[in-house]
Amino acid sequence: MLQAFNTRETREAAREIKFLVAPDVAARILEWSRARMAPDPHASGAFGDEYRTTTLYFDTNAFAVYHRQGSFKRSKYRIRRYGTSDVVFLERKLRTSTMLSKRRTTIPIEDLPRLSQTDLDANWGGFWFQQRLAARRVAAVCQVTYSRHARVSSSPYGTVRLTFDNEIAAQPCYGPQFDPPAGLPVLSTHTIVEMKYRAVLPAVSRHLVEEFALEPTSVSKYRLSLDALRRADVPTGAARVNLNEVLQGPPMAPGVNA
């Protein structure tokens, strides 16, 4: 049996900046970064900076995460799979104005049905995640797949990370399970470029922003994906929720999805 691998990380003064750019601009930025930053140590591909990610996002029956209500504005629960791996990552991400905290546990993909069980086994690696899902009353509501390129660098405050997300696709999710990719296109006209760093914007990032005249924006793959399912009138979640009934107002456009 695979032994669960657990990590906890707390980063003070963690910063994230996102940009929406046209695919041709993203390609030029990626080329620029390859000459100045190292490849992601966990990626592959010809330049050692590519991988494909599939994520299950969790929300309440009232979609409090989507609406950024109360404490759900700060915390997110998700399950992440890289490529076709038979190991998945249970993740909780908690952000405040001064700190970013992440907890991550690996489990075999065949263990995912245990998250839907009512009995709790304290000896199971995913026990804490199962507990938190029950306490927060959240369930899987959306599967999002995308391609990512990632480059890294260093600064006096730690690692600097630059990512490029495209080919984003969303599909309904009816429980804690990964289905074959068959999603709706999300944001097909743009690439999401994101900088992650601590405390002070590092020189390499500052030069990149100036070189390409980038303008920061707020964008959420999860919220855009739910909006795509909503426009297509696709029900999701274990209860096959009609998103047009629970997401008030018109679907939000990129730039206002924090």
pLDDT along the chain (258 residues), means of 10: 62 84 97 96 93 96 93 93 95 82 93 90 93 95 97 91 97 95 92 93 93 95 95 94 84 50
**Pair 9, 113: CB distance under 8 Å:** no
- Which pLDDT value is given to residue 248? 72
List the structure tokens of 183: 């999603």
> Residues 95-133, buried b or exposed e (16+ Cβ, 10 A)?
beeeebbbbbbbbeeebbebbeeeeeeeeebbebbbebb
CATH superfamily of 6-246: VTC, catalytic tunnel domain (3.20.100.30)
The whole-model pTM stands at 0.90
- Which pLDDT value is given to residue 249? 64
Give dist(CA 73, CA 23) in Å, integer: 30
- Which pLDDT value is given to residue 147? 96
Task: List, for residues 163-200, the tens digit of each pLDDT value.
Answer: 999 999 999 999 999 999 889 999 989 999 999 998 88
| Nearest by Cα to 219 from 165, 146, 167 | 165
- Give the residue extent of every domain in the chain: 6-246
**Pair 145, 183: CB distance under 8 Å:** yes
User: What is each CA distance from 131 to 28, 36, 222, in whole angstroms?
Assistant: 45, 43, 23
Query: What length does the chain have?
Result: 258
For the beta carbon of residue 29, count every other beta carbon within 10 angstroms. 22
CA atoms within a 13 Å half-sphere pointing along the CA-CB vector of 150: 17
The beta strands (E) that lie in the chain are given as 6-12, 14-21, 38-39, 50-59, 75-82, 87-95, 99-108, 139-155, 158-172, 184-185, 191-198
Give dist(CA 129, CA 83) in Å, integer: 22
